[in-house]
């Protein structure tokens, strides 16, 4: 199905409206959005989206846009947090209707850093670490995955880093390891490598635990983050593919444009995703 921004506007009025925000114009025509199919996957937000705002601002944005799943980054919950501090964080998030599904991205360059990451995730009470351990540490990571019975999704970072730039690089590192070591597949960075992320979804979906999703304006290193639907990623095809492969994990917006004031872009992107899903039927 060819579903463009005009189709989306017809379905939802505006991205903000679809995200649960009030209409921007007092005389706007009322729009009835079609019922969205209940998907096995869940829309969420990645913690780095909120790197330049406070925790209260982040949680308020999630509540306003109707997203209740969050992977916390250490700028809002440090890796050396006490259990008391973690419990206070979780209680605050709960008042906004937000639950944590994971932690990260966490970089691991030593065995001590691996130990800390797994202990931290256990204290937070989540089943998933989104991480980027050095390749030579993967045998040790595998031991910890078995010890904690926890998943680790490796995040690919595109052309900006030599460590896990693309999906195939991740696969070469993990293919012989415990199946609880898999992907947090970043589709924006994959696109910036000149690759089609949907190909990776079809190849590796059984080992994908999480997605970082954002739109980019160019399929090259210089490609930047834009509001979803304004760039080049084929989100209708992406979401249809997730349904086709029966994906059951999280799909987390990682919006890195206007990071000091991200609400508008987040609302537009989440609204666009909902409009796309409604358009797919």
* pLDDT at res. 259: 97
Tokens 């997203």 locate to 67
Question: What CA–CA distances, in Å, run from 115 to 133, 136, 151, 178, 279?
Answer: 11, 15, 14, 18, 44
Q: Is the pLDDT of residue 36 over 90?
A: no
- Span 39-93, pLDDT tens digits: 999 999 999 999 999 999 999 999 999 999 999 999 999 999 999 999 999 999 9
* pLDDT at res. 18: 42
Where do the domains of the chain lie, and which CATH numbers do they carry?
39-280 (3.20.20.150)
- Span 80-126, pLDDT tens digits: 999 999 999 999 999 999 999 999 999 999 999 999 999 999 999 99
Looking at residues 7-36, what average pLDDT do you find?
42
Lowest mean pLDDT among 27-41, 215-229, 245-259: 27-41
Instruction: For residues 168 and 79, give the distance between their C-alpha atoms in angstroms, rounded to a whole number.
Output: 29
Phi-psi region of 48 (alpha: psi -120 to 50; beta: other; left: phi over 0): alpha
């Amino acid at each position: 199905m060819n579903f463009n921004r005009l189709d989306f506007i017809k379905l939802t009025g505006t991205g903000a409206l679809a995200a649960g925000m009030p209409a921007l114009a007092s005389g706007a025509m009322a729009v009835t959005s079609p019922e969205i199919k209940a998907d096995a996957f869940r829309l969420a937000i990645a913690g780095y989206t909120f790197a330049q705002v406070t925790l209260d601002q982040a949680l308020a944005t999630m509540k306003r846009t109707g997203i209740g799943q969050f992977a916390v980054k250490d700028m809002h919950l440090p890796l050396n947090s006490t259990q008391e501090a973690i419990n206070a964080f979780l209680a605050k998030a709960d008042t906004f209707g937000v639950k944590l599904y994971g932690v990260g991205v966490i970089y691991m360059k030593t065995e001590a850093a691996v130990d800390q990451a797994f202990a931290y995730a256990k204290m937070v009470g989540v089943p998933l670490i989104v991480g980027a351990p050095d390749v030579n540490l993967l045998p040790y990571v595998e031991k910890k995955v078995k010890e904690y019975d926890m998943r680790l999704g490796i995040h690919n970072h595109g052309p900006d880093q030599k460590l896990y730039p693309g999906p195939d690089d991740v696969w070469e590192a993990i293919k012989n390891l415990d199946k609880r070591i898999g992907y947090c597949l970043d589709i924006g960075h994959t696109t910036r490598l000149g690759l089609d992320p949907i190909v990776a979804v079809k190849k590796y979906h059984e080992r994908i635990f999480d997605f970082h999703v954002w739109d980019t304006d160019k399929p090259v290193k210089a490609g930047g983050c834009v509001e979803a639907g304004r760039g080049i990623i084929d989100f209708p095809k992406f979401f249809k593919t997730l349904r086709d492969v029966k994906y059951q994990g999280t799909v987390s917006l990682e919006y890195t444009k206007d990071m000091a004031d991200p609400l508008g872009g987040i609302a537009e992107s989440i609204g666009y995703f909902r409009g796309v899903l409604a358009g797919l039927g």
